[in-house]
Each structure stands twice: as C-alpha cells, then as structure tokens.
Amino acid sequence: MRIIPSAAAYLLIACLVGCGGPPPPPTAGRAASSHSAFDGVYRATVTISKVSSAAAGSSGWCETQEHPSLNVTMNRFSLALPHPNVPGNPTVNFEVAIAPNGSFHTQSVDGTTMFKGQVDGAHLQGLVDGVGCQYMIAAERQS
C-alpha cells in the first residue's frame, strides 16, 4: 500500500522546516540599558508668573510648593502642585513623558491644567497654565 501525503501534510512539513529559524535580533527600542538621557533628580523652583482676576482676590490661592524634587526615570516624572490656601487643599498632579527631543506637553490628571516644557542638557523648564494660576518651573539635574 502506497501512502500519498496530502497538501496539508506538505504544508505542515514545510512550516516545521522553515519556521524554526533563529529568533530575530533585538531592536534598538529594546536597549539593554535601563537608563535614559534625561534620568536623574532635578531640584525645581516654582514661581507664580500670572494670577487671574478671580484668583487675585483670594489671599494666596496660587501659593504652592516652591522647591519640588523631580525624579526622572526612563523619561518620565510626576509633579504635584498643592494649593494649601484653597478650600479643600486641592493638589494638581501631572504624569509627564519626555519625548526623545526633550519636549513634553501634558494635561493634569484631572484635566484642568496644562504643563509644557523642555529638557535641555541638565536644565528642565516648563510652564503650568491653570484656570486661575500660571507657574514657571525651572529645574537643574542634581544627579
């Protein structure tokens, strides 16, 4: 008795022979290093650059933490701007991703405030533009 393999059997054999090649080489996006060009701890200074007329009538509503520390890891960092003189002590939080060219542009977690800026060498600068308050952020990498 003679067995004639079907087309499906040929296909299975061809796949087993041809599909077992070596895995593809790692891509540049999967670098072995867990360090990015912007990583480090930045010591920031926050200054109030603009106050809306609504916030100007309320004593110190734009006051916030003057010297936050920004911990950049894998081109990402968080920034929290508390407002202790506003009823309910709200805090505006940002989760920031730095683009390969050093720029960033994001909304606060609650969607009420914008934060955009640039990292250039060891210097980070940005503008936080909220409903009643605008801030300039300047930071230098410490490590």
Residue owning tokens 């605008």: 134
Buried b or exposed e, range 5-24, using 16+ CB within 10 angstroms = eeeeeeeeeeeeeeeeeeee
Residue type (1 letter), 130:
G
CA distances from 30 to 22, 33, 103 (A): 18, 9, 22
CB neighbours of 11 closer than 8 A, spacing ≥ 6? none
pLDDT tens-place values along the chain, 143 residues long: 454 555 444 433 333 344 444 444 544 444 445 568 899 999 999 999 999 877 776 768 899 999 999 999 999 999 999 999 888 889 999 999 999 999 999 999 999 999 999 999 999 999 999 888 999 999 999 97
- Nearest alpha-carbon partner for 82 in 60, 107, 104, 56: 60
Q: Domains plus CATH for the chain?
A: 40-141 (2.40.160)
pTM over 0.75: no
Give the bridge partners for 96, in sequence order.
77
Beta carbons within 10 angstroms of residue 143's beta carbon:
8
- Nearest alpha-carbon partner for 51 in 77, 83, 73: 83
Half-sphere CA count of 127, side-chain side, radius 13 A = 4
Residue owning tokens 């009538």: 57
Q: Which pLDDT score, from 0 to 100, does residue 35 have?
A: 64
